Amino acid sequence: MSLKIHTQNLPKQNNSWYLRTGYIHHYICKCGEVDQFVNIAINIHHPYHSCSRCKNTHYLDSVMFLNDSNVVRWSSFHWNIETIKSEESWSMRAYSTIPVFDYDLQKIRLKRVTLATTTLYFNGTTSYKEDNPMIMEKYVYNNLESMSTIKELVDNDLEESLCRFILESPIDTTKWIQETAINKYTSTEKLKLFSFFLQHPHLKEYDFFHWDNFAVFETISKEYNTVNKLLSYVFNNRKEKSIKKAYFNSYIQSMQINGSYNYIADYIFSHHITDRNFLLELICIDVKIKHVLFNDGHFVLMEELLAFLKEYYTERAITKLFTNLEHYTNAARDTIWIFQGENKNNLKEHFRKVPLSFRNLHNEFIRIQNLIKVNYCDGVTFEYHENDLKAEGQRGEFTYVLPKTTHTLSDWGRNLHNCMASYSREIHKKKLIIFVIFKEKKILYAIEIRGSKIVQALGKYNQDIEEEDRKEIDEWLNKVYIQGWMKLSSES
């Protein structure tokens, strides 16, 4: 078995062990030679010895390796993979054979040490067990490569071996999966694919693996169990040949451009737009725009917005609204997010029909928001959880700050020329939080967080954030904000 460090493969080798019992130093070589010396000088963290038979110099102190937390790295380490197929799962177990001194027998014996086991059950669930965390936390390296933890290497080997084992020892549910068809995937992606098809054994087309939020179709897919059938369900079983052709072309483009299929726009338009010509126009919206506006979190919201618009506007006007989105995706995204929660009822109650465009809708929604919050503005103070407050401060070039009052939120909204002041009620009710980002005391961006996800991250005039800055913000979210909550959860 090859030991992988980064992209380099080291030669196949078995462990060689160094073991001290009293004054005797035992060297048990991979070639089978056993050398013993008494009272020799040795660096116990990197014992050096040259095998008298094969001149090998790779040795590990087995006792310290197992038990000493101060010994953190070795020049090499080898393990074996054991495959186990039961009536309900495939399992891979990584283990190593390590010599220990049996004081009762007063001799060296070999001890099999299990490192970790990963399992994929036939129902699609997975499990992972780490048996010896102290070993897994140690590092291995050679003279050419930087260090990697044994855990990284073992886990990667377990995943790769499990994928091979599943393909070589299939069950009826997975026999149709061809290795050549999934070679482009990483081992992690392959295991997700196996898990998906084990959970949906009636599906046998690779495309289904790339349908976003497939859980929506878990029940209906048993009746519509091919891509053609399920697409027909998505576009409301429309019979017109032009409609079918347009949907299939849009689907192919989505798979080619995005690598996945987001069904939401197609489903909503086909269920709410009856005129064939208008529906054809909507089907042909740029798939990239569909992917941005109609993501998984917008399904119910978009349906409700479309139903609301149909109370005031014709299908022609609604079609024009969505087919002229190319330069207004940020305004559209912002407008959609305002139309939710308690805001939705207020908007419906006070809405005045305006010429239909997302900019006009946005302005009308803001007018209603301002109307509602006349008595809810300067005097309201926001309260935050301690963990939210701990995430404030400088990281890298950016400083992250929470608005403490509606007055501050309004001022920052004016500086950024956006509508974040309209979120006052939701912030006050702790349904979301907004961090404003400064650089050298200059306000740059605002990010809206719901749960542990950034749902909006925009600059002045609702412009997208620069790619490098967005990477830095995402890193702050994961390493500062989310980690703070994870730490709190583990402590509790």
- What distance in Å separates the CA atoms of residue 433 and residue 388, rounded to the nearest whole number? 9
Higher pLDDT: 131 or 407? It is 131
371, 427: one domain: no
pLDDT interval class at 486 (50, 70, 90): low
365 burial class (0-12, 13-18, 19+ CB within 10 angstroms)?
A: buried
Is 234 part of a structural domain of the chain? yes
Using a pLDDT cut of 70, give the percent of the chain over it: 89
- What distance in Å separates the CA atoms of residue 310 and residue 361, rounded to the nearest whole number? 14
122, 162: one domain: yes
| DSSP-assigned letters across all residues of 28-50 | E-TTS-EEEEES----TTS----
Give pLDDT, residue 188: 95
pLDDT interval class at 42 (50, 70, 90): low
Contact 212, 262 (CB under 8 A): yes
User: Taking 90 as the threshold, does the pLDDT of residue 47 lie above it?
Assistant: no
- What distance in Å separates the CA atoms of residue 163 and residue 183, rounded to the nearest whole number? 11
Is 50 part of a structural domain of the chain? yes
18, 140: one domain: yes
Is 433 part of a structural domain of the chain? yes
User: Taking 50 as the threshold, does the pLDDT of residue 6 lie above it?
Assistant: no
User: Taking 70 as the threshold, does the pLDDT of residue 93 lie above it?
Assistant: yes
Range of 27-31, 62-66, 247-251, 302-306 with top mean pLDDT = 247-251
Helix axes 241-258, 264-272, angle to 10 degrees: 160
pLDDT average, residue stretch 309-338: 84
Using a pLDDT cut of 90, give the percent of the chain over it: 42
Q: Lowest mean pLDDT: which of 165-179, 286-300, 310-324, 398-412? A: 286-300
Q: Lowest mean pLDDT: which of 139-143, 180-184, 288-292, 337-341? A: 139-143
What are the beta bridge partners of residue 123?
none
Instruction: Using the structure block, give the residue that is written with the tokens 């009293």.
Output: 22
366, 479: one domain: no
Contact 427, 404 (CB under 8 A): no
- What distance in Å separates the CA atoms of residue 361 and residue 8, rounded to the nearest whole number? 57
94, 18: one domain: yes
For 466, the 3-state DSSP assignment is coil
- Give 423's contacts (C-beta < 8 A, 6+ positions apart): 409, 432, 434, 448
Q: What count of other Cβ atoms lies within 10 Å of the Cβ of residue 438?
A: 16
Contact 392, 344 (CB under 8 A): no
Is 119 part of a structural domain of the chain? yes
Structure tokens at 320: 């024009």
- What distance in Å separates the CA atoms of residue 283 and residue 305, rounded to the nearest whole number? 18
pLDDT average, residue stretch 309-334: 85
- Sign of the CA dihedral running 300, 302, 308, 314: negative
For the range 103-107, what are the long-range contacts, defined as Cβ-Cβ under 8 Å and sequence gap of 24 or more?
none
User: Taking 50 as the threshold, does the pLDDT of residue 7 lie above it?
Assistant: no
- What distance in Å separates the CA atoms of residue 416 and residue 324, rounded to the nearest whole number? 25
Higher pLDDT: 101 or 322? It is 322
Half-sphere CA count of 318, side-chain side, radius 13 A: 23
336, 407: one domain: no
Give pLDDT, residue 318: 95
Number of structural domains the chain divides into: 4
pLDDT average, residue stretch 127-133: 93
Higher pLDDT: 182 or 60? It is 182
pLDDT average, residue stretch 392-400: 92
User: Taking 60 as the threshold, does the pLDDT of residue 40 lie above it?
Assistant: no
Higher pLDDT: 370 or 232? It is 232
Q: Lowest mean pLDDT: which of 5-9, 132-136, 205-209, 430-434? A: 5-9
pLDDT interval class at 8 (50, 70, 90): very low
User: Taking 90 as the threshold, does the pLDDT of residue 348 lie above it?
Assistant: no
Q: Lowest mean pLDDT: which of 74-78, 110-114, 278-282, 398-402? A: 74-78
Is 456 part of a structural domain of the chain? yes
User: Taking 90 as the threshold, does the pLDDT of residue 116 lie above it?
Assistant: yes
pLDDT interval class at 10 (50, 70, 90): very low
- Give 315's contacts (C-beta < 8 A, 6+ positions apart): 273, 274, 275, 278
Contact 432, 423 (CB under 8 A): yes
pLDDT tens sequence across 238-262: 999 999 999 999 999 999 998 999 8
298, 399: one domain: no
244, 344: one domain: no
Give pLDDT, residue 319: 95
Give pLDDT, residue 5: 26
pLDDT interval class at 418 (50, 70, 90): confident
Sheet holding 24-28, edge to edge: 34-38, 24-28, 17-21, 60-61
359, 396: one domain: no
**Domain boundary at 134, 168, 202, which?**
168
Residue 240 sits at φ, ψ, to 5 deg, of -65, 130
Average pLDDT, the chain: 85
pLDDT tens sequence across 57-73: 888 888 888 877 777 87
Q: Which amino acid is at 231?
A: L
Give pLDDT, residue 201: 95
Instruction: Using the structure block, give the residue that is written with the tokens 């979210």.
Output: 477
For 363, the 3-state DSSP assignment is helix
Residue 461 sits at φ, ψ, to 5 deg, of 55, 30
pLDDT tens sequence across 147-162: 788 999 999 999 999 9
Q: Using alpha carbons, list the distances in angstroms from residue 294 to 221, 249, 273, 297, 316.
A: 21, 18, 16, 8, 20
User: Taking 50 as the threshold, does the pLDDT of residue 9 lie above it?
Assistant: no
42, 156: one domain: yes
pLDDT average, residue stretch 66-91: 87
pLDDT interval class at 11 (50, 70, 90): very low
149, 283: one domain: no
What are the beta bridge partners of residue 91?
84, 119
User: Taking 80 as the threshold, does the pLDDT of residue 438 lie above it?
Assistant: yes
User: Taking 60 as the threshold, does the pLDDT of residue 380 lie above it?
Assistant: yes
User: Taking 90 as the threshold, does the pLDDT of residue 379 lie above it?
Assistant: no
pLDDT average, residue stretch 379-383: 80
409, 298: one domain: no
What are the beta bridge partners of residue 96?
113
Instruction: Using the structure block, give the residue that is written with the tokens 């068809």.
Output: 181
CATH label of the domain that carries residue 433: 3.40.630
Is 207 part of a structural domain of the chain? no
Is 192 part of a structural domain of the chain? no
Higher pLDDT: 79 or 32? It is 79
Structural domain for 255, as ranges: 218-312
For the range 445-450, what are the long-range contacts, defined as Cβ-Cβ under 8 Å and sequence gap of 24 or more?
445/416, 445/469, 445/473, 446/412, 446/413, 446/416, 446/418, 446/420, 447/473, 448/337, 448/420, 448/423, 449/477, 449/481
**Domain boundary at 289, 312, 335, which?**
312
Going by their DSSP bridges, the two strands 73-74 and 139-140 should be labelled as parallel
Q: What count of other Cβ atoms lies within 10 Å of the Cβ of residue 458?
A: 19
pLDDT interval class at 25 (50, 70, 90): confident
pLDDT interval class at 344 (50, 70, 90): confident
Is 406 part of a structural domain of the chain? yes
Q: Whole-model pTM above 0.75?
A: no
